[in-house]
Amino acid sequence: MLHFADLLQYSDVFFSGLLTTVELTVLTTILGIAVGTSCASIRQYGNKTSQRVVSIYVELIRNTPFIVQLFFIFFGLPALGVRLSPWEASMIALTINLGAYSTEIIRAGLASISKGQIEAAKVLGLTFRQTLTRVIFIPAFEKIYPALVSQCIIVMLGSAVISQISVEDLTYAANLVQSRNFRAFESYLVTAALYLGLSILLRFAFNSIGKRLFVYREAP
Amino acid sequence: MIEFSNYDILRNLLFATQWTILLSLAAFIGGSSVALTLTALRLTRNKVVHSLIRGYVELFQGTPLLMQMFLCFFGLSMLGYEISAWGAAILSLTFFTSAFLVEIWRGCIDTLPKGQWEASRCLGMSFLQILRYIILPQAIRVAVAPTVGFSVQVIKGTALASVIGFVELTKVGTMLNNATFEPFKVFTLVAIIYFLLCYPLSLYSKVLEKKFNGSR
Amino acid sequence: MALVNLDQVHKYYGDLHVLKGIDLKINKGEVVSVIGRSGSGKSTLLRCMNGLEQYQEGGIVVDGKEVTTEDIQVRQLAMSVGMIFQNFNLFPHMTVGENIMLAPTIVLKKPKYEAERIARAMLEKVGLGEKFDSYPEKLSGGQQQRVAIARALAMNPKVLLCDEITSALDPELVGEVLKVLEQLAKEGMTLILVTHEMNFARDVGNRVVFMHQGKVWEEGDSNTLLSNPQTDELKQFIGAVL
């Protein structure tokens, strides 16, 4: 039989794990989208060489498992003299991962902006940087927003793996609790539910940001 | 301590790659069978069935694959069902794969214009006939590229089976790392092998997508 | 010196010779209609005048500044040359007011209240004073094009380039846009239009330039040229559009 009551005494363990996961998610979502936006702009508007560099980055990340990327950064990089704490390694790995996926997504958004919009900005005297930030980004993001949100959720869920390098996140908490009270099923079930709640919360947060960003879609 | 030459490392990794491939195939076959069944059920347009499938998708897309594996492996055995790491990996990857495929395929069927159903009905075709002759041939054409693309996610997903102790590429990578203390070399090789497995599929998916978009 | 000077301008797309030595002088206050079949190079010519297209030989000088496609040049040119497009190209995520205020605030660095004053004045001018806070997609095509004109005017240009600005409009909406142009012409604005509106070219325009196969085939006073075409090509063209 299931005994969820046994988990109550560990609620602070779960809570601190949840906090770590939320913290990392917020940070890496912001950083990852920033990386993705920069790389997508280079990929769409940059010169041949920089386009190629971005493509290689994107393909390398998209075609290898996140856990291997994490192990490479955490265990592999010290061999090159780069020593990172588990938390730092996780943050970097998650950012790089989301950065690559969002590059592909955001680039599709940039590609959907008509040449006329860019020309209109040009003949009004805007610099290219101004054109990007003022004219192109918002409509481009609107086009791909749902895909971007889904990807951020996928990366958040993927972060469960960082427990494997001893970051004390939500999954780490679940492992800890089940090793103490041997209620594996209950412990993982509660954790899964917490992750599900996080996904819903993240989607909700994105949607409210989207409502503000894309207010022109809802205007009367 | 046993000395590992580069050849030994590579040989061990390649041997483990077989298990990664096998697990990927099993998960993909299992996942697409379940997804196919669910897609068929969806076509009945029963409200209850729809919301059940919706819930299934939300559940498995809204929780970490790793957690699903833990539940299948540690959880089931705690409940008294003995299951091997291999079984737990296949089971959880099947859930995971099917939840994504059923969504992908739903999208493919939904992109077909409503007029296709209406026109066929006007020609006096039955539901199954419409499906067999009109909808599926078109939907499959649309679905191939994203399905191939998703198979890359399945291969990468199998790496998590290492966490519950299934000995595949990533697991052997961590074992070799512990034995050789050459993490940079070992994980670079592991990453290269995954890349060689996944990149051709990614590329093929892109080619298919272009071909389809071109012919439309 | 004329406001717009084109001197033996040649343009190639790869092997394709699109503009074959164009000479043109346009004075301040003139309303010049550029007509011709599609593919005759008329839009390309217009787009060369503000640096949107590169030309390979010859020279273009507008308001004393040489035109190149260098970003910096194009931006400096933006102060003297306004452009209006066939597809309006309003920025969808900004209100009408924000569309008009954007360039005055971030290019001309005017304070916000000043930019808003200009924007409201320009909107009044095109008869859309009450649409300041609307989003472009809530407006009709004709209204959107009038906003685009207001947006260009807010930069206080010396010359306005109009690239088939009524071609994407429903017929019943063409009139309201042409009326705005007519008003601008009366106020002495220099207008260069690529257009299919022959009546407008004749009634409002001073001069017509007929382009054919990348050359200025015939040009002259609009009334004379349209009622008494000299070449067979122009005769055929007028016959086809009227």
Task: Report the half-sphere exposure of B54 (CA within 13 A, side-chain side).
Answer: 7
Q: Are C29 and C188 in contact (CB under 8 A)?
A: yes
Write out chain C residues lying below 8 Å of A118, CB-based: none
Shortest CB distance from A63 goes to which of B74, B152, B182? B152
Q: Do A60 and B195 touch (CB under 8 A)?
A: yes
Residues 137-156 of C with CB under 8 A from A: 137-138, 151-152, 155
Question: What's the whole-number mean pLDDT along residues A26-41?
Answer: 97
C89 contacts chain A (CB < 8 A): yes
Q: Do C151 and A142 touch (CB under 8 A)?
A: no
Residue of chain C with shortest Cα separation from A142: C93
Q: Are C95 and C138 in contact (CB under 8 A)?
A: no
**Torsion of the alpha carbons at A70, A75, A80 and A83, rounded to the nearest 10:** 90
Q: Do A119 and C78 touch (CB under 8 A)?
A: no
What amino acid occupies position B192? I
Q: For the residues of A69-110, what is the DSSP string, one character each?
A: HHHIIIIIGGGGT----HHHHHHHHHHHHHHHHHHHHHHHHH
Shortest CB distance from B177 goes to which of A65, A67, A75? A75
Q: Are A4 and A190 in contact (CB under 8 A)?
A: yes
Q: Which residue has the tokens 């990927």?
A: B24
Min Cα separation C50/chain A (Å): 7
What is residue B215's predicted lDDT score, i.e. its pLDDT? 57
Write out chain B residues lying below 8 Å of A200, CB-based: 62
**3+ Cβ–Cβ pairs closer than 8 Å linking C and A:** yes
Min Cα separation C46/chain A (Å): 12
Shortest CB distance from A138 goes to which of C50, C93, C134? C93
Question: What's the whole-number mean pLDDT along residues A106-130?
Answer: 94
- What number of other Cβ atoms are within 10 A of residue B101's Cβ? 26
φ and ψ at B149, to 5 degrees?
-60, -40
Burial class (CB in 10 A: 0-12, 13-18, 19+), B111: exposed
* Residue C242 covered by a domain: no
What is residue A2's predicted lDDT score, i.e. its pLDDT? 66
- Angle CA(A177)–CA(A181)–CA(A182) in degrees, nearest 5? 95
pTM assigned to the model: 0.91
Residue of chain C with shortest Cα separation from A138: C93
State yes or no: pLDDT of A154 exceeds 60: yes
Q: Indicate which CATH number applies to the domain containing B164.
A: 1.10.3720.10
| Of A154, A194, A155, residue with least CA distance to A172 | A194
Residue of chain A with shortest Cα separation from B200: A63
- Angle CA(A200)–CA(A204)–CA(A209) in degrees, nearest 5? 150
Shortest CB distance from A75 goes to which of B74, B162, B183? B183
State yes or no: pLDDT of A96 exceeds 80: yes
In the predicted model, what is the mean pLDDT of chain A? 93
Tokens linked to A170: 């939500």
Q: Give Dmax over CA atoms of chain B in angstroms.
A: 77
Helix (H) or strand (E) holding C217: strand C215-221
Give the C-alpha separation, A201 to B52, whole Å: 21
* Residue C102 covered by a domain: yes
List chain C pLDDT tens, one digit each, 242 residues: 789 999 999 999 988 999 999 999 999 999 999 999 888 889 999 999 988 888 898 889 998 888 887 777 777 777 789 999 999 999 999 999 999 999 999 999 999 999 999 999 999 999 999 999 999 999 999 999 999 999 999 999 999 999 999 999 999 999 999 999 999 999 999 999 999 888 888 888 899 999 999 999 999 998 889 888 899 999 999 888 76
Q: Which residues share a beta bridge with C207?
A: C32, C221
Question: What's the whole-number mean pLDDT along residues B93-115?
Answer: 91
Which residue range forms the structural domain that includes residue C118?
91-156
* Residue B1 covered by a domain: no
Question: What's the whole-number mean pLDDT along residues B128-149?
Answer: 89
Burial class (CB in 10 A: 0-12, 13-18, 19+), B4: middle
C60 contacts chain A (CB < 8 A): no
**Torsion of the alpha carbons at C1, C4, C8 and C14, rounded to the nearest 10:** 160
Taking 3-state DSSP, the helix, strand and coil percentages for chain A, each rounded to the nearest 5, stand at 85, 0, 15
Shortest CB distance from A188 goes to which of B71, B173, B188? B71
Q: Do B63 and A192 touch (CB under 8 A)?
A: yes
What is residue A184's predicted lDDT score, i.e. its pLDDT? 82
Tokens linked to A112: 């959907």
| Of A161, A29, A17, A175, residue with least CA distance to A102 | A29
Which residue range forms the structural domain that includes residue B61?
6-215
Q: Are C85 and A124 in contact (CB under 8 A)?
A: no
Give the C-alpha separation, B136 to B140, whole Å: 6
Overall number of domains in chain C: 1
What amino acid occupies position C175? G
Burial B59-80 (b: 16+ CB within 10 A, else e): ebbbbbbbbbbbbbbbbbebee
Q: Do B163 and A75 touch (CB under 8 A)?
A: no
Taking phi first (over 0 means left), then psi (-120 to 50 degrees means alpha), and beta for anything else, what does residue C156 get? left
**3+ Cβ–Cβ pairs closer than 8 Å linking B and A:** yes
State yes or no: pLDDT of B113 exceeds 90: no
* Residue C146 covered by a domain: yes
Q: Do C81 and A123 touch (CB under 8 A)?
A: yes
State yes or no: pLDDT of A120 exceeds 80: yes
Question: What's the whole-number mean pLDDT along residues A135-163?
Answer: 96
Overall number of domains in chain B: 1
Q: Tell how strand C207-212 and strand C81-84 pair up.
A: unpaired
A58 contacts chain B (CB < 8 A): no
Q: Are C195 and C35 in contact (CB under 8 A)?
A: yes
For C160, the 3-state DSSP assignment is: strand
Tokens linked to A213: 């960003």
Write out chain A residues lying below 8 Å of B194, CB-based: 63-65, 68
| Of A66, A151, A47, residue with least CA distance to A103 | A151
Q: Are C218 and C225 in contact (CB under 8 A)?
A: yes
Question: What's the whole-number mean pLDDT along residues A143-151?
Answer: 96
Instruction: Find the length of chain A.
Output: 220
Q: Do C74 and A122 touch (CB under 8 A)?
A: yes
Residue of chain C with shortest Cα separation from A135: C91
- B58-101 pLDDT tens trace: 999 999 999 999 999 987 877 788 889 999 999 999 999 999 99
**Torsion of the alpha carbons at B152, B154, B158 and B159, rounded to the nearest 10:** 40
- B177-188 pLDDT tens trace: 999 889 999 999
Q: Which residue has the tokens 């807010």?
A: C154
- A50-74 pLDDT tens trace: 999 999 999 999 999 999 999 999 9
> Is residue A144 very low, low, confident or very high in pLDDT (cuts 50, 70, 90)?
very high
Residue of chain A with shortest Cα separation from B76: A185
What is residue A8's predicted lDDT score, i.e. its pLDDT? 77
Task: Report the half-sphere exposure of B113 (CA within 13 A, side-chain side).
Answer: 4
Interface with chain C: mutation pick from A124, A128, A133, highest number of C CBs within 10 Å: A124
Going by the DSSP 8-state scheme, the letter that residue C207 receives in this structure is: E
* Residue B19 covered by a domain: yes
Size of interface A-B (CB pairs under 8 A): 128
Q: Do B188 and A160 touch (CB under 8 A)?
A: no
Q: Tell how strand C207-212 and strand C190-194 pair up.
A: unpaired
Residues 153-172 of A with CB under 8 A from B: 153, 157-161, 164, 171
What's the complex ipTM?
0.92
> Is residue B109 very low, low, confident or very high in pLDDT (cuts 50, 70, 90)?
confident
> Is residue A220 very low, low, confident or very high in pLDDT (cuts 50, 70, 90)?
low
Q: Which residue has the tokens 């990468």?
A: B156
Q: Do A64 and B76 touch (CB under 8 A)?
A: no
What is residue A1's predicted lDDT score, i.e. its pLDDT? 57
A7 contacts chain B (CB < 8 A): no
Class of A27-164 per CATH?
mainly alpha
Q: Are C57 and A127 in contact (CB under 8 A)?
A: no
What is residue C66's predicted lDDT score, i.e. its pLDDT? 85
A132 contacts chain C (CB < 8 A): no
Going by the DSSP 8-state scheme, the letter that residue C216 receives in this structure is: E
Q: For the residues of A171-201, what is the DSSP string, one character each?
A: HHHHHHHHHHH--HHHHHHHHHHHHHHHHHH
> Is residue A160 very low, low, confident or very high in pLDDT (cuts 50, 70, 90)?
very high
Give the C-alpha separation, A189 to A146, whole Å: 28
- What number of other Cβ atoms are within 10 A of residue B135's Cβ? 19
Q: Do B70 and A157 touch (CB under 8 A)?
A: no
A107 contacts chain B (CB < 8 A): no
- Angle CA(B132)–CA(B137)–CA(B139) in degrees, nearest 5? 110
> Is residue B116 very low, low, confident or very high in pLDDT (cuts 50, 70, 90)?
confident
Taking phi first (over 0 means left), then psi (-120 to 50 degrees means alpha), and beta for anything else, what does residue C36 get? left
Q: Do B184 and A79 touch (CB under 8 A)?
A: yes
